[in-house]
Each structure stands twice: as C-alpha cells, then as structure tokens.
A = this chain, B = another copy of it.
Amino acid sequence: MPLEIERKFLVRGDAWRQQAERVVRMAQGYLNDLESVQSGAQQVSMRVRIAGSDAFINMKSREPGPSRQEFDYPIPVADAEALLRLATGGLIDKHRHYVRHAGHLWEVDEFHGDNAGLVVAEIELDAVDEPFETPAWLGPEVTHLNRYFNLALAARPYAVWSDGERRPFPETP
C-alpha cells in the first residue's frame, strides 16, 4: 500500500524549462464527482490517465494535508479512452515536464485548454518533513489549496477562476 507525500507550488517564470530532462503529454479525467469526494461521502478519487503511449487507472485517498494512499495500475489505452468518455467534468490536458534539481525530481505541469495559463510544480517526498532545496523558479506553496487539485480543475477550470483566486499570495518585489 504505497503512501504518497506530495507538495505543490506555483512557478515563477520560465527558467525551469531549460532544466527539464523529459516531457510527456497527459490526458486525464475523473470517474467520481468532485462533490462526493469533497463532502466525504466518497473517500477515494478515481483518475484515468493516458500518458504518452501508456495508460493508467489511479486511486487516491482524500485526506487533509500532503500525505495520501495511492494506487496506480496500468490498463490498455483503448480501455482508458472508453473510461475517459465516462468521466465526470472536463478532461485535463497538460504537459508534464520532469525537472531534476539538487537530487529531487520535480514534476512541472503546464496545463492547456480550460486550464491554460496554470503551471504548478510538485515534489514527491519520503517523509512530510523531508528537506529539499528550493529552485529559484519556485513560487508559493499551494498544497493545501483544494482548487489546485487536478480533480478540482476538471470540475472548475482555471479559466473561470477570479483574479484573486489566480494570485492568492501578495507579489514579492
């Protein structure tokens, strides 16, 4: 039973692009409705993802904070395509850039479609308090802001966010 610990940040500028060692186009959608997960009526989110020429079904427990149980299984791409047609809400379309920095692998997600303009960086850690070096392009942390969940972005995309929601932190000079 793998335990996932992830922290999520906004990104400043474009300097991370030069550091990217690999990039994969991803299409993903959710089989559950956002509301039943947010209300606690359903404890698990169910994601279908096509990443390049691979496809996966993923289940994550929804718990407060950065740590969750995660289950990920490969499935045939044709199944994933059929399941995406049964998805709730919109589909997420993004490029995931893999960026290595000071021994850690960052996943920088550059969203398209209804979420165009949004770029977030995630780091997976072995412990909640594991230290890591902060890249110069890293912005403020949004781990605890539910609207940045991909599940939430499928239901309520970046395109409809208010300006205050898009810039939740005061600009630093």
Residues of chain A at the chain B interface (Cβ within 8 Å): 1, 31-33, 35-36, 41-44, 46, 57, 59, 61, 69, 71, 73, 75, 78-79, 82-83, 86, 88
Interface secondary structure of A, over-half rule: mixed
Q: Which residue of chain B has the shortest Cβ distance to A42 in the bound complex?
A: B33
A61 close to B86 (CB less than 8 A): yes
17 contacts between A and B (CB under 8 A): A1-B79, A31-B32, A31-B46, A31-B59, A32-B32, A33-B36, A35-B41, A36-B36, A36-B41, A36-B42, A43-B86, A43-B88, A44-B83, A46-B59, A57-B73, A61-B86, A73-B73
Q: How far is the CB of A18 from chain B (nearest CB, A)?
A: 39
- Copy number of this protein in the oligomer? 2
A44 close to B31 (CB less than 8 A): yes
A59 close to B83 (CB less than 8 A): yes
The residues of B that contact A71 with a CB separation of less than 8 Å are: 75, 79, 82-83
The residues of B that contact A31 with a CB separation of less than 8 Å are: 32, 42-44, 46, 59
| Complex: A59 Cα to B59 Cα, angstroms | 12
B44 close to A33 (CB less than 8 A): no
| Complex: A83 Cα to B59 Cα, angstroms | 9
